[in-house]
Structure 1
Amino acid sequence: MTQSRPRIPEATVARLAVYLRVLTGLAGGGRSTVSSGELASAAGVNPAGLRKDLSHLGPCGVRGVGYDVATLRDRIARVLGVEQSRACVLVGIGNLGTALADYAGFGSRGFRFVGLFDAAPARVGQRIGGQPVRPMAELDEVVAATAATIGVIATPAEVAQPVCDRLTTAGVRSILNFAPVALAAPPEVDVRQVDLSVELQVLAFLGQQRSDAAGSLEVLA
């Protein structure tokens, strides 16, 4: 009987995706090795946190040498399942949805949009990123035909919950929500929230803190 792989915490998975992005960039630039300090700095974490995250993958680096960039990149990619092609559907083809649908970088990370949907008749039939925009009436059919398990919501807040309900009813089990509203989903459905306005507010607050701290130092001087 084979043992199941230990569960990796969600926060660690998110950071592994960042490490993968950094390592892919380093490999593309011709780097063969990287120290834990360099990788941690590029990923925005501390070295101890980096080493703890990578401990979930088993032995990775060599003391005094660091990490082999290509080896670590490939190991993280396998853990995250990047080598698998995951079918996704996107609902909401406004400015943000259009940008997401037209972004070619998702393909290199193992994600492909198999269906784009919008409720506005004026958008139905348009082609974005090689895919036609379909009416919402075709959502269930496309999800079933493509075995899509990931749904991306880029709609206005007031319609995001009904869209979430439609996606889960159709069989989608993972949702990435860009609408500025919290969604209620069944326990078996994973929901990740990306609220751009909140992120901007956090950045503004941090910037103000730095300005206040600098002002205080000037007064003390």
Structure 2
Amino acid sequence: MFVKSCTNRSQEPTVDHEIPDIVIGRLPVYLRELSRMEREAGKTTTSSHELAERLGISSAQIRKDLSHFGEFGKQGTGYHINYLIERLSEILRLTREWPVALVGAGFLGHALASYRGFQRRGFAITCVFDSDPAKIGEHIGELVVQDVADLETALGGQGIEIAILAVPADAAQVTAERLVQAGIKAILNYAPVSLTVPPGVHVSHSDPVVQLQQMTYYLLPE
């Protein structure tokens, strides 16, 4: 599904800042489900109604989300699954493999560095950093944990724009600032703290505790 490419970025889709972040956030969900459909024997087309049933999202919402990027289907025939996968991959810039820097080699960092799902979906963790002398030099698969003190030097000239932050909360902001200085433009933050970054740098937070706290709101008292 993902094809490594040396295509010049000027040929890639431009970013439309008028499109709400929540819409962009649903596109990978659509892409994931379409990829599952593609693996189903003999299945080549789908509809917004079928996607809606599978995802628990209204068909009108799916059509509205996709309409931000053009026309992808025909009335009465639905969507060609392979074509829609290709177009969503282009929109999300997944027609190339993205190198990713990981900062933090604790339990979470080990799990992230070992997770094979990243590469299947267009991302490759290519370097891991930590500040703990006991972890520096340790092997995680084919990767060797590097000293975070060398972060800027190690990332310089590598063309890496994405980083995953899996460090304690008290180290997250300083580390994020160093990543930005090293050329990182997108950070997936697992630290339980909000980050302040300059304009043009995108941060996405992943905090399981916050997500659990959101879910408990919907649990009815006994």
Which residue is 1:44 aligned to? Answer: 56
1:63–1:129: structure 2 CA closer, same or farther, 3 Å change rule? farther
1:104 aligns with 2:116: yes
Residue in structure 2 matching 1:195, options 203, 207, 215 = 207
Letter in 1 for 2:114: D
Aligned partners of 1:135, 1:74: CA distance in 2, in Å? 39
1:180 aligns with 2:192: yes
1:150 aligns with 2:162: yes
1:18 aligns with 2:29: yes
CA RMSD in angstroms, aligned pairs only:
1.8
Aligned partners of 1:140, 1:117: CA distance in 2, in Å? 11
Letter in 2 for 1:170: A
Which residue is 1:140 aligned to? Answer: 152
Which residue is 1:68 aligned to? Answer: 80
TM-score w.r.t. length of structure 2: 0.87
Aligned partners of 1:29, 1:204: CA distance in 2, in Å? 35
1:57 aligns with 2:65: no
**Displacement of 1:52 after TM fit?**
0.6
User: C-alpha offsets along residues 104-127 of structure 1, whole Å, 9 cap, x if unaligned?
Assistant: 111122211121011111111222
**Displacement of 1:87 after TM fit?**
1.8
User: C-alpha offsets along residues 128-165 of structure 1, whole Å, 9 cap, x if unaligned?
Assistant: 24211111122112211311111110111111111111
Deviating more after overlay: 115-124 vs 8-17: 8-17
Asked which structure has the greater RCO (Cα within 8 Å, sep 6+), the reply is 2
Letter in 1 for 2:27: L
Letter in 2 for 1:112: A
Alignment check: 8 A CA contact 1:88 1:113 kept: yes
Q: Which has the larger radius of gyration?
A: 1
1:95 aligns with 2:110: no
Letter in 1 for 2:92: L
- Partner SS, residue 34 of structure 2: helix
Which residue is 1:120 aligned to? Answer: 132
Aligned-residue identity in percent: 39
Residue in structure 2 matching 1:32, options 40, 44, 50 = 44
Name whichever structure is richer in helix by fraction: 1
Gaps of 5+ in 2: 1-10
Gaps of 5+ in 1: 216-221
1:5–1:163: structure 2 CA closer, same or farther, 3 Å change rule? closer
TM-score w.r.t. length of structure 1: 0.87
Aligned partners of 2:56, 2:143: CA distance in 1, in Å? 35
**Displacement of 1:64 after TM fit?**
2.3
